[in-house]
Structure 1
Amino acid sequence: MMLIDVAEYRPDVADLNTAFTDELLNVLAADGSYIPAPMLAALTAALPARPNGWLSVRSLDGSIRFFVGTNTKLYLLNSTTLAWDDVSQVATTYSATDDVPWCIKAFGNFIIAVNQNDDPQVYEIGTDILFRDLAGSPPRAGIIAIWGDFVALMRLTSNANRVQWSGLNDCEFWTPGTNNSDYQDFPDGGQVQGSTEATNPLILMESAIQRATFVPGSVEIFTFQKIHDKRGAKSPYSIATRGELGFFADEGGFFQIGPDGGITPIGFEKVDRTFFRRMAVSSISRIAGAVDPFYSRVYWVLDYDGDGIFDQMLVYDWQLVKWTVIDVAVVGIFAFATSGYTLDGLDAVSTSLDALPFPLDSKAWQGGAPVLGAFGTDFTLGAFSGVSMEATITSPELGDTAGKVMRTAASYPVVDTADVFVSIGVRMRRGDNVTWLAEQQPSSNTGMVRKRSRARFHRFKTRIPADTVWTHFKGIDVETSEAGSR
């Protein structure tokens, strides 16, 4: 028997007799194995309209709140009924759109919501019951970031090349030149797309990256230095940050940027060519990203046909330096914290414990537990904490380029479940299409798949059905022998 270890997902490179594969679906990377990718399962009632901005926040009193915006309204999740309460400013219909979405951030107990068509809105937890105009006459903007003790606004309606920040520790003070509030215009680099969230942030533009340095007590407040030229974020929504660490998508590739401004092309010769080739330019500008709130993973969702529904999710683990891909049908992804549930409170989700979308020990039920979430196409809020998705793991192609024909007699998938199916892909020449033989389940006695094949090139596909309980897929053992040449 020959063990074929799990292969790294690198569809951009050749997979013949390598440690790479171009076929992988619905798994997450682990050290030396793949693990299940959980399904998205709904937690709430549906919003009355498509969401286009959101925020989960733990307030200073420890409670969890979830805010969301639609084109015309702002909502707050009712943690008792799991329905959505309209908390829009009184007698106000907002003018956000799919192309001019909300950005919502927390600054202490202040929840600030902006889009480029409306005046900035604020909701102070413990004081306000509805949103109101943010005081201080701030400019209309498309993006908010928190820079230590400052609120920064970007993608300004009046000046796309400007960043403007609030007074020191005062999100409702916006008079430039007073109380440390000011602005900075950038002469080149295109419009400002977003920034990391740190006291000394990195500001990503369309084709430049600036480093801002807070200088307490100085006249400038922040100093700015261009650290990258001709490199920036094609999509403002692709920028995903955890503190000083940032990730973004530019034209033709995915990148990681550290607090020192160093850029790593994380998708080069791995996934960039494969996935950017599938997308139209308009789809590239709408790539959306989110950092896992718990694990070292960043997720980007991709809309291939431009219909507003994200079809797939690319997952990059920056500790393992590995990619995977997951099929989805969502309108946005984000990290959020759940409010927590008692057994009685679970009745709002389902009247039957057997019908709950997650196991009772899932983090989704634990108050304040960080999870990755999304809005489904039915506009319900869900968490990726459900049962395992159907996983497909394919080996590299193996073969002798000198013409030797190989015969296989049996294979043994190295995974901790018997509910698994194996199929063999064969071809005589690399220019031929791969022919997949009928898949077969392992013997209940031996765990072996007794399937014979004869070809110059072989690959082995393992399929694990949805809702199967398993923890690690390590590889597949294959029994092979020479069959001569032809």
Structure 2
Amino acid sequence: MSLIQFAQFGPDRSDFDPNYTSTLENVLPAADSFLPFPGFTPLTNALPGRPQGTFLAVQGNGVWLPIAATGNALYKLNFTTLGWDNISELEADIILTGDFAADVNWTKDALVTISAGKAHFTAVANTNGLSQTLALTAGVTYKVSFTVSSYSAGAITPTLTGGTPVAGTTVNANGTYAMHIIAATGNTAFKFIASSGPTTLNIDDVKVEPLAQYGTPAANRWSFTQFGDWVVATNGVDPIVYFDLADPTAVFVQLSPDAPRARNIDTVGDFIFTSFLDTLGDKAAQWSGLNAPQHWEPRKRSADFQVFPDDGEIMGTASFEDGIVVFHEHCIREGTLDLATPLIFRFQKTVEQHGTHARNSIISTGGGTFYLSQDGFYKYATPNPIKIGVERVDRFFFDDCDFNETYYIYGFEDPARACVYWAYRSVENQNDQTFDRLLAYNYGIDRWSLIKPDTILTAICDSVTPGYTLELLDNVGNLDDLPFSLDSRAWSGSLPVFAAFDDDYRLGFFSGDPVAARLQTADIALSEGRRTYVKGFRPLTDATTTSGRVATKDFPGQPRNWKQSANNSTVTGLIPTIASGQMHRFELSIPAGQNWTHVHGVEPEGQPEGHR
């Protein structure tokens, strides 16, 4: 019998349409076949909280830097420790007389003195030291910095004391130091504690600076953009902040006291463009001065604002070379740069009575801009957006997605595979604000598939590793226990790859062994007008081990009668069965952990029977 190709994913179509199938799990569509979807493997330590925004910045030397946000802090990935360094905005120093200009505010234990602008430890015994009472808040990260000079013996450990003490890094050499310490319940003071025998050294320039605690609502995500060497971030409730990639010691700082508090942010040419504003409203946009990201006074240096009169709040934006697409709830507008006139941006409504209610579903790629509208998935085009999900996946998605979670659906591009993914919480998932499904769309060949990851996800993103050599891999683990194979793109660090955070908030990559795949054909009449007896089928795939089963019907409206599943023969590749009927549906399963590259379809083995 002839080869039956596995059809493309289209659960909205009829079961009798041979060009579509309702079951296509954990494979990626290719031109004439399907590819394995790799498993998720965590790489980093856990982010301190649920990820509420990610960004992949490119530094001036071409090196990528992953940035992640929680509700109350901003972090960058430390490629050495694989931990997350808090780079939130620093607030005012809470230490008094940290320069030791006077002998006040400090409590000195035996053999600790203050004079000549320094604190002096002279053979100070273990556990003694120098302290100051502070108003500390549990859970807040404090940046502790100081200078050690005239060191000759012992060591000091900066510590938050009271309640459960929290120690910083022990220091036993001259130098200027900085470290982060997270306060615990009951901490009421800061103390330099002598250790490692009698300690002799001088201390100066002490600072204890709280890192900002941002107030991002649980339902919000941070929005990021890059403007030159600056990463600019906003969460809709706190002042806009920026991070200078050119400064290795930088933290986020406020962009400008004149900048609005905005839900969305983008870069258009030499402007920073914000929308959904605290003062002008959720239908308003405001942009910075021309090549002046810290200038926001309207009608000066080309800075200005626009309040749109109708069509709901601004849900998000997608910039292009000379302008920006503005997605409202009920319409879409384009703003085109018009620097030759005082208007700066010329706005035009391009799509009427159609927008998006899922702000994080908007995906801007080299292949177009994609989004979820109220009735399904689209690719943006004028005058009529292209329906990419209609009569294929739209009804399936709205049935499978938890209705209360459609607002939180999150879209992202897989740059290596010309795919976009929408992560969502299905009706089967009981965990709030997590994703257990990925709806994948290959925009190069206009085909869909459904991914059920091997772990619950809390965010999807692009990311990179530092670009490991064999020597640097020792920091990750021995060669037998590495999370990815040595030839995985995840180790290269040169190009972004599709990544995610799991439910333990660890960043990882989809670069593991393939997850278990399952594919079905449509209900097919193998012999026109006659029953067919099938004694087995051979899958056309380079997977070594497979299993499968067959369902039969004697007429289209009859429920499917699934036969027992069986493994393929290691000699012939045949999956045996006994299946007689007017119509047949074939299911193939490829187990997890097996290396394979393509699956095309199945070739039934059997013969026609009599009429019925």
TM surpasses 0.5: yes
Distance 1:125 1:400 in 2: 62
Summarize deviations over 1:323-360 as a string: whole Å, max 9, x none.
001013211112233321122322333x2212212111
Shift of 1:405: 2.4
Partner of 1:82: 82
Which residue in the other structure is 1:444 paired with? Answer: 570
Decide whether the 8 Å contact of 1:45 with 1:380 is kept in 2.
yes
Unaligned runs of 5+ in 2: 91-209
What's the RMSD between the two structures over aligned residues? Answer: 1.8
- Match for residue 232 of structure 2? 112
Displacement of 1:399 after TM fit? Answer: 2.7
> Aligned residue for 2:357?
234
Shift of 1:55: 0.7
- What letter matches 2:273 in structure 1? A
Q: Please say if 1:252 is aligned against 2:378.
A: no
Separation of aligned partners in 2, 1:35 and 1:454: 31
Matches within 5 A, 1:286-365: 286-305=408-427, 307-328=432-453, 329-349=456-476, 351-365=477-491
Give yes or no for contact 2:564–2:577 (8 Å, CA) kept in 1: no
Q: CA deviation at 1:203?
A: 1.0
How far apart are residue 210 of structure 1 and its match?
0.5
| C-alpha separation in 2, matches of 1:261 and 1:236 | 21
Deviations 1:279-324 (A, max 9, x none): 3443221111011223321110111247211110001111111000
SS of residue in 2 equivalent to 1:430: coil
The aligned counterpart of 2:343 is: 220
Q: 1:369 and 2:491 equivalent?
A: no
Following TM superposition, by how much is the alpha carbon of 1:132 offset from its aligned partner in structure 2, in angstroms? 1.1
SS, match of residue 55 in structure 2:
strand
Aligned mate of 1:380, from 506, 513, 516 = 506
1:225 Cα deviation after fit: 0.5
Please give the alpha-carbon distance, in whole angstroms, between the structure 1 residues aligned to 2:373 and 2:35: 29
Counterpart of 2:302, as a letter, is N
Most deviating of 378-387 and 302-311: 302-311
Letter in 1 for 2:450: V
Determine which of 123, 135, 144 is the counterpart of 2:265. Answer: 144
Counterparts of 1:386 and 1:172, CA distance in 2? 44
Instruction: Return the match for 2:278 from 151, 157, 181.
Output: 157
> Any conservation in 1 of the 2:419–2:440 contact (CA below 8 Å)?
yes
Report SS of the residue matched to 2:405: helix
Q: What pairs up with 1:19-38 in 2 under 5 angstroms?
A: 19-38=19-38
The residue type paired with residue 388 of structure 1 is P
AA of the residue aligned to 2:503: T
The answer (yes or no) to whether the contact 1:145–1:194 under 8 Å persists in 2 is: no
Q: Return the offset for 1:105.
A: 2.0
Work out whether residues 196 and 243 of structure 1, in 8 Å CA contact, stay in contact via their aligned partners in 2.
no
Q: Which amino acid aligns with 2:338?
A: V
Q: How many residues align?
A: 484
Q: 1:123 aligns with which of 224, 228, 243?
A: 243
Aligned partner of 2:582 in structure 1 is 456
Q: Could you say which residue in structure 2 is the equivalent of 1:389? A: 515
> What is the CA-CA distance between 1:400 and the residue it aligns to?
7.7
Who is 1:8 aligned against? 8
Worse-matched range after superposition: 45-54 or 335-344: 335-344
CA contact under 8 A between 2:11 and 2:21: conserved in structure 1?
A: yes
Q: TM-score, with normalisation over the residues of structure 2? A: 0.76
Out of 169, 172, 185, which is 2:307 matched to?
185
Percent of pairs identical after alignment? 32
Q: What is the DSSP-based 3-state SS (H/G/I as helix, E as strand, rest coil) of the residue aligned with 1:122?
A: strand
Distance 2:528 2:599 in 1: 32
Rg: which structure is higher?
2
Match of residue 481 from structure 1: 607
Evaluate the alpha carbon distance shift between residue 434 and residue 211 of structure 1 in structure 2; reply closer, same or farther with a 3 A threshold: same
Q: Which amino acid aligns with 1:405?
A: R
- Secondary structure at the aligned position of 1:444 is classed as coil
